Structure 1
């Protein structure tokens, strides 16, 4: 039977909201039901059309969201961004704990040496912004000698964070001749013998690189190995993966019998791990003041600045770094390759490689939120990149320099005029935040050039700004005058200095 071409709907596939669906349905209804002419909101047919349009609008919204989450540039959910980055071979950095050295001294009553075991906790004073002190743990045992004069000091390496677990478990040695060790564990479940079992860790935030999974058969524990994924795992490998979701919950996943062993039914699954990490652990010299559990005869006599702590890698930084890391393809040939490879090391948010001879490459690195990487992190970068460098090339790693830039001063403030009906103080705060954003990654990098036009554009984009005049913009290590573009060396990154804004107009 021939189709009446006059009844074929002309569909506008770009109209995907409530109004578009409603108009299209009513237009189609007028073709197939010409006798129905009522368009009253109370008409039952119109009600049905609007209900279908409402559902269509919601479905279109979810379709757009699903599409956006499939691409690195448009994804908004952290889990989506991390999944795409991992497909590119880039592992986003979790929160990193601060480290430093703590000095211990004996008191006059100590007559014999005392050993502080690894994991002994030391703390700062109460910090109001955190509503608690910050806790650090010794990374290795430290022996405090008996009291003599002059009073001796011993130094121990301390790492921010807390070891979790409610009981101790004897760990089988890896070899028949090796000693057995004791580890503190948390019971996370019992194997039911099924494929791909998932267990949740009770505490957070978890330091992923400290997570260990130990199977307890009742007489002791056998440790399994953590892997990034099960792609290249054999059916006989005792392995697991650990991932933290958007809510900060960390889950342990075991194998399916084809990729990774399935634990025997009834065996206890335990985990040893530490919680902590974050920029809050970066504290000044002398901030650690006491042992968490007092020990007679031993006191904390000093501490170095605690450095290297960083929050988890922000989404914008992942978007910028994942393609760079993928571009290097695991080998360093060009200077850009050396810098891109450095991004794979935890604690490195940005890097710039400089070649001054055919046999040496210098990599300048910076951590998340402008934190300077610790010596251990720099050594890790050097080792990681050196293994992938050209033969005969020596890799050196140096911290980048943070150079503050002042935008306005008391003598030469940045002037803005606020439009009527806008609150002056609200617009002023928004302008200050817009200026700060110009100096935040990934907007800035090593060797950046901060142009006056860029700042003007950021200020003018703030709702309520009528006009603006920047009277001074300069590096803080140069005379505080003039408004020329600010240029930085290859080892320098611009950061926010003083921002002085004076507003007029508005409410």
Structure 2
């Protein structure tokens, strides 16, 4: 009904097209009467006739809700220089929050009532704008308290602030490599004091390393069994892995890297199976059969270490990709406005969804520029929709032009972001005659930066710059690793002959399989966390190394082809039963992968003489963390593509590739890992620590309450980013804690108990500083929002938690850090319900400040100071400024 909160534009070009428009009208602004009981609505054109109270919809309000219109009339202006307005009389006045006034269509017929019910069930808007009103200006926001006295600057803050770069982290604990062979060098320093060489190619250093290597293995062979029997002394990686698993510690082998690849083509392609393609990096002498499409047979003679391979990552092997030309570079739609951007944290945008016909009268600038097309709407051909996006598709936003130079080389490479769509709505801009597509994406994929869409060149050029950023479709999730298939087997047989019963008796014999431990020929084996069916684009990239499994599968040979039963890889066989076809891939110190099968109790024993076809992936660790725009070739295993203008690329670098866990870390952490993981809740601290495992919580607190015959675990939760814990979150935490609770304990999960604070300060402002400017900055520092440098306000919900008192020293330090503050005097700091009864006379006036220097909070309490005039019971802040200007 009105402008998107995430679309911020400096120039409202759409408003200019509504003035004097014979077909479209809209609300320009609203005036609030002095008694706040009526509104005077001004329009771009003439005031609409026949507007009744049924066409008035007032939304919003925090304290005062459901404001209704009781009378509507047109107020004629006596002065011809003034415009008429629509006078709306209200049944009550509003609070300090922002309200929204909408002129909507009256529901009159049964068909409209049914359509309204259907839209409500689908979660869509339950009303339509008044006929003749532009949907972007059918609603207007206003405040009843606009005329209230306020000494703050009324200038609006910049909607799209410049990006704040993080402070670089410096690791002061990093050490050099020289201490590794210190013992040998110390000995040589005693017997050969004149030898000071430490250069790696030196023959003496080489002999030291060779002797150390040989001596280590000679000593290992002497007592190999005793050495590998204990975690502390084990030297083989497989032994360390098995020891760690006995104490429930999962030693990981790292995981591969993931990234997004977008395929651009000038013509729509036929569906391509995910198993029939993969992507590679470039290498010298590469020969492409068609554009940037390479056939797999052409790579057979190329060394595999010349390029990196990334395979499509899908949950369904039968997945097919449909690459469309219109999805290569999709233009953002700004509804005719200029100098626009998508604000940081945005989760929705609008795309242009039509073929643009020639428009000789439009302003130069190209792309999705709708300026100047109004006069040609009647003669332009019928537009056609070209986008075919669906829920679940992934788009990549990319800045392709410099916002101030229009030069592609000046585009910020950091302004690239992948999002997964959660809602796709075709729409129409009736004012400009454009077909558009409204898209929304997962909140976890919210923009981490402000994305510039359009700008204007600096003076004296002043040329418009459109399509600074675009959206790429045809996106494929890929991960590092080259597919390899090889035969292994057979499982060696072992013949067992029975005992002789008597002379001449027939001996019974049985064939049983011997232990089968095949080794895969190529290294390193790829490990990766299984892909979830749903989730945000950000979650699809992130992996947990300890949940990663080997990318290897076995299929038994039945006859001449491998079409028998399949065997699945597991981390271990502890949960496998005797008839399950499971196996484990264990990586040794040289990176070779050994396959271990079950023993009949934990996993199935393969039958003697069985052959397997092993298909696995090769490529793991940090090698796959390739840079952006390096995956530039598409490889087809079979068939060919008719198009010759296919250009794959990865706008974002591959990331997430991790190296295998060092054995030293396993020996250090594994013995204590089970102590750090809590599996039961006995004390109050147990309940609070387990509740804090939920990523949606900032902190939790608990206490055991005696109920007369039993204890109740009373758990209070503090959610992240908010002070409101909804019922769904409470139920989620309660269900999680129920499995850990002690028998006999009742369990109750409740929201945190917030304690409103009453605070009053007197501040002396330095000369030549405006009091209003200093006060505005103080309200930010002591507020509940986020500052420009990324820091949180003093009373931000995520800055305070359970049992954290309010320290006077920290308050004074925060206020003194504001420019222009000379001196600070805290006059009152108390709980709101006790602030009127704790006045203590001291020298210089009355005050109410804790003598201990801290306002304490109980274990289940969190301090709160919202300073919201609509909700004064949530804390009050009073600042008295003296001096300054």
Normalising by structure 1, we get a TM-score of 0.46
Point out the structure with max Rg over C-alpha.
Answer: 2
Which of the pair is proportionally richer in helix? 1
TM-score (norm 2): 0.28
